[in-house]
Amino acid sequence: MAIREGLPKGFVLAKPIAQEGYDESVIYELERQGRLIITRKRDGWKMIAVMDPKGVRLYTDGVNEIDSRFDYIKEELSKCKVLMGHVLVGEAIVDVEGSDDIGKVISIFHSSTSKSIKLQREVGKAKFMLFGVISLEESYYWSVENVLQAFTKDSFEFIFPAPIIRASFAEAKKLAVQHGWEGLVLYDKEYRLTYRLDGKAPARPKGCYKWKPILEDDFIVRSWRPSPNDPGKLKDLVLSQIDPATGEEFECGKLGSFDKQTREFLTNGIQYPFVVQVAFEMRFPKTGKIRNARFLRVRADKPIKQCIAPKSFGK
């Protein structure tokens, strides 16, 4: 298969093993054996570069080719002559004073080309963080350590390797919470990134694991939204909190994915409004809306007036 023809439509990368899919004893055992590599998980958009001698081509994780909005990244990658014929895997991120702004990344990808380029002039250009290099023609793979060694030797403005955290697993988890990182990606030194070319998702291979700090807070629920196919069935809850600066209530997102018993209780067994405790992974910094929300319990002991957001997300 000729890489210079672009990325095959059936190309699918293996994903790390999710937190619920492993026991942390596995990570501590890798650490004990000196085989653990710890990196910061960035909150960006998966991006893949095909190093074609006729011109670098960028793709999303869904194998959709990216247009000229990232020409500046293509230009920098074209200088890496040694990597011609290879596939580079990473993430497009927008870093704002050390924090990832996923909202800006989404806007850059979802806007028209002209609006995306204009937006990047205003908020700063997205950068390409690399964590793997592979060949579709040979059994060849660069580990996170290989990428770090290769890309710290050269000076790039918009490309950088995934930094390795030189700390214990326990210390790295504390750093993630302290600095508000999305989480960690943990590697076995012997791990090799795998993929399929038939459009099917590869099995999640041992040796690459995600870890995320789980946040919790209490939210007001004043209403629920019905299922589009059944108006009498609850689809999800609308969450809100009180802005500490203005005292006004603002929406914090939606909460769904209930078991049958909980869904029935929330539809017919409780009086609205009420307070619910929710676990989530992060808040969008501009709107205060939460992501990947998970129901914990109804807080019958907490009054609505005490559901105050940790900070103001006012426009």
Q: What is the pLDDT of residues 53-66, one digit of tens each?
A: 788 999 998 899 99
CATH superfamily of this structure's domain 3-211: DNA ligase/mRNA capping enzyme (3.30.470.30)
290 HSE (CA, 13 A, CB side): 28
Question: Cβ neighbours of residue 303 under 8 Å, at least 6 residues apart?
Answer: 275
pLDDT higher than threshold 80 for residue 3: no
pLDDT of residue 58: 96
Range from 27-36, 150-159, 160-169, 289-298 that averages highest in pLDDT: 27-36
Higher pLDDT, 152 or 227: 227
pLDDT higher than threshold 50 for residue 4: no
The CA distance from 70 to 183, in Å, is 26
pLDDT higher than threshold 70 for residue 140: no
pLDDT of residue 20: 74
pLDDT of residue 274: 95
pLDDT higher than threshold 70 for residue 283: yes
Q: Are 76 and 156 in contact (CB under 8 A)?
A: yes
3.40.50.720, 3.40.920.10, 3.90.420.10, 2.40.50.140: CATH of 215-306: 2.40.50.140
CA 221 to chain centre: 27
The CA distance from 258 to 11, in Å, is 34
pTM confidence score: 0.75
pLDDT higher than threshold 80 for residue 302: yes
pLDDT higher than threshold 50 for residue 6: yes
Q: ∠ at Cα 136 (131, 142), nearest 5°? A: 30
Q: Are 242 and 309 in contact (CB under 8 A)?
A: yes
pLDDT of residue 5: 65
Question: Cβ neighbours of residue 226 under 8 Å, at least 6 residues apart?
Answer: 232, 233, 234, 235
pLDDT of residue 2: 42
The CA distance from 224 to 269, in Å, is 13
Q: What is the pLDDT of residues 232-246, one digit of tens each?
A: 889 999 999 999 889
pLDDT of residue 315: 55
Q: What is the pLDDT of residues 73-114, one digit of tens each?
A: 999 998 887 788 889 999 999 988 888 888 899 899 999 999
Nearest to 208 by CA among 34, 41, 87: 41
The CA distance from 126 to 182, in Å, is 18
pLDDT of residue 98: 82
The CA distance from 176 to 140, in Å, is 32
Q: ∠ at Cα 122 (117, 128), nearest 5°? A: 60
Residue ranges of domains in the chain: 3-211, 215-306
Q: ∠ at Cα 227 (222, 231), nearest 5°? A: 85
Per-residue confidence band for 182, with pLDDT thresholds at 50, 70 and 90 = confident
